[in-house]
Structures are given as structure tokens and as C-alpha cells.
Amino acid sequence: MPQNQDPEYLSEPRRKEIFRALVDAQDLKLSILQSRAMITRRFGVSAKQLQNIEREGIDNDWPPL
């Protein structure tokens, strides 16, 4: 996996953008699985990367929480 695709190499603004898109998708009544699948495709991140970003966003109370 290229370094720039690893969550620790994604900038914080990029991770926040991905997190916001995930929350927005769930607010549109997509299921958790549907929203995760959509966001991994849209941003070209792996399921594991998205899981890490999701955890980071929740732990740090990122907007739009």
C-alpha cells in the first residue's frame, strides 16, 4: 500500500473531510455498511483506513458530531 494511502499519512483536514462525508451519508439514512462502502469508493481508502478515521473522529468529537 502506498504511504499516502495509509491513514497516518493522510492529512488531518483530509481525514476530517472523509469523516464528515461518512456522517453525512449516515444522516441521509444510508445504513452503516452502505455508507462505509460508498465512502471507501468515493475517497479511495480501505475499509481499515475508514475504520481508523471513524474511530479518530468519534474519539476527538470532530464536526459534525
Mean pLDDT, consecutive 10-residue stretches, the chain (65 aa), reads 59 96 95 96 96 96 87
In a domain, 28, yes or no: yes
The whole-number pLDDT of residue 61 equals 95
The whole-number pLDDT of residue 64 equals 84
Other beta carbons within 10 Å of 43: 17
- Structural domain including 23 reads 12-59
* Number of domains the chain is built from: 1
In a domain, 6, yes or no: no
The whole-number pLDDT of residue 60 equals 96
The whole-number pLDDT of residue 4 equals 54
In a domain, 21, yes or no: yes
The whole-number pLDDT of residue 5 equals 53
In a domain, 42, yes or no: yes
SS (H, E, C) 34-46: HHHHHHHHHHCCC
The whole-number pLDDT of residue 9 equals 82
In a domain, 34, yes or no: yes
